[in-house]
Amino acid sequence: MLQVARLDRNTKEAIGLLSIGTFLEYFDLNLFIHMSVLLNGLFFPKTDPHTVFLITAFSFCSTYVFRPIGALIFGWIGDNIGRKAIVVITTTMMSMSCIIMGILPTYAEIGITAAWLMILCRIIQGMTSMGERVGAEIYLTEITTPPKQYPVVALIAGFATLGGVGALGFANLIISTNVSWRYAFFGGAVVAIIGAVARTRLKETRDFVDFKKYSKVKLEQQHVDTKKIEEALNAPIFKQEVTKKTTLSFFFIQCAHPIGFYFIYGYCASVLITKFNCPPEIIIKQNFIVGLFELLKMMIIVPFLSYYIYPLKIIRVKLVLFFIGILACPYFLSIATSSHDIFLVQIAFSLIAIGSGPGLPIFYSHFPIAKRFTYGGVIYAIARAVMYVITSFAIIYLVEKFGYYGLIIIMFPVILGYMFGLNHFEKLEKECGNYPEGWFNRER
């Protein structure tokens, strides 16, 4: 696909292993998210509609709020031990959390302790999924070059989406066949273990290996004198700094995805429950179909376009479409008379939602190799944690106070920040001579 035949064998193998591993990781991560309409009733006490929204938001946010801590831990490992170590460790941790969730007693059996243990497992899953995805994206960024680099890295997001859709399909199968929900998590544990074993075949990236040659530890092991050590540490690779504006710009760009994702799969699910009294199996089935449309976008449309069209220009077009969609969204929600109407809103947003998208290799390239994993991971994690918390709870109160137009209040600042970040990276690309005059990519 997309000239992939020009890639060497090792690169193809790495793409395959990382893509499949990302699918497995996000399959496990999304199992609870997409089965939450069922599992929240098992692990939390039953209550009024307002509290239903709060419980949905709380259980959803628990996956993301501790990600910054995971980012610091895995960022240090990734920048000091290697990219390969991260993708193996995180997949193993995901499998262990799935096993625990599969054997966990319910609220009816052990009370509120069940809720806290489930939340703890979700925290572990959130931390490991962050390290896995960022590790895979940086790994592929460092072993490929444009324009093939853009669709190759974009496929990681595609396989993450595939994992979510797979989890939705599996959840739908479990519920429709009246099989115990526990089998879903046992199945997730099995696929995660397979992914961890397969990823041991990966080789370390060339960029990271070259960087380590400059390290003080390596030089001391080779008995190089102090003067040469100091000379090596003054090499440009150690002196590269990350500007505050670049850090802030990447943060704003990473803030965009959570608001779209939660609206599509979290808030709309709550609307279906409280406004249309939809049972869990209907919601899961509807979300699964929405996920198929998103999968089409992430696996085919975005990678295909990014090979030919410069990614930052694709992102700018999506930003315009998303802005129009935000303005129209309150109206369509207010006139919705059935779950089918909400379904159409979900599909529309899944197709126009903004995020880092095919521009990730460009964004990562403006962070030095020695700090790329730490900066990329920490910014990614903080943005996700902050936005999922703000989005999940703010939407509830803003919509209660302003109706569906409260959605605009929370989404509009995100659009402005996203525009600021995109403008900054476009400026950096122009300064580097990488920004094409036309729409199409060029070989570099």
Q: What's the confidence (pLDDT) of residue 254?
A: 92
Measuring CA to CA, which residue among 429, 141, 147, 425 is closest to residue 308?
A: 147
CATH of domain 4-432: 1.20.1250.20
Q: What's the confidence (pLDDT) of residue 128?
A: 74
pLDDT tens track for 197-238:
766 666 666 666 666 555 554 445 555 454 544 444 444 444
Q: Find the helix packing angle between 149-176 and 280-296, rounded to 10°.
A: 160
Q: What is the pTM of this model?
A: 0.76
Both tokens assigned to 419: 């525009």
Q: What's the confidence (pLDDT) of residue 150?
A: 93
**Coil, strand or helix: which one is 229?**
helix
Q: What's the confidence (pLDDT) of residue 28?
A: 73
List of residues 6+ apart from 135 with CB closer than 8 A: 74, 78, 83, 86, 87, 90, 373
Count of CB atoms within 10 A of residue 88's CB?
20
In single-letter form, the type of residue at position 417 comes to G
Q: For each successive 10 residues of the chain (444 residues), what is the average pLDDT?
A: 57 79 76 70 67 62 70 74 71 78 83 80 75 79 87 89 82 74 76 69 64 52 48 47 89 91 85 85 84 89 92 94 92 90 92 88 88 84 82 80 88 94 95 88 66
Domain boundaries, the chain: 4-432
Both tokens assigned to 336: 């919705």
Q: What backbone torsions phi and psi does residue 309 show, to the nearest 5 degrees? A: -105, 135
Q: What's the confidence (pLDDT) of residue 120?
A: 81
d(CA 166, CA 185): 13
d(CA 352, CA 346): 10
d(CA 370, CA 172): 44
**Coil, strand or helix: which one is 310?**
coil
Q: What's the confidence (pLDDT) of residue 66?
A: 72
Q: What's the confidence (pLDDT) of residue 301?
A: 92
The DSSP 8-state label assigned to residue 298 in this structure reads I
Helices (H), 255-371: 256-262, 268-276, 280-296, 302-308, 311-334, 339-352, 360-365
Q: What's the confidence (pLDDT) of residue 235?
A: 46
Peptide bond into 368 cis (omega under 30): no
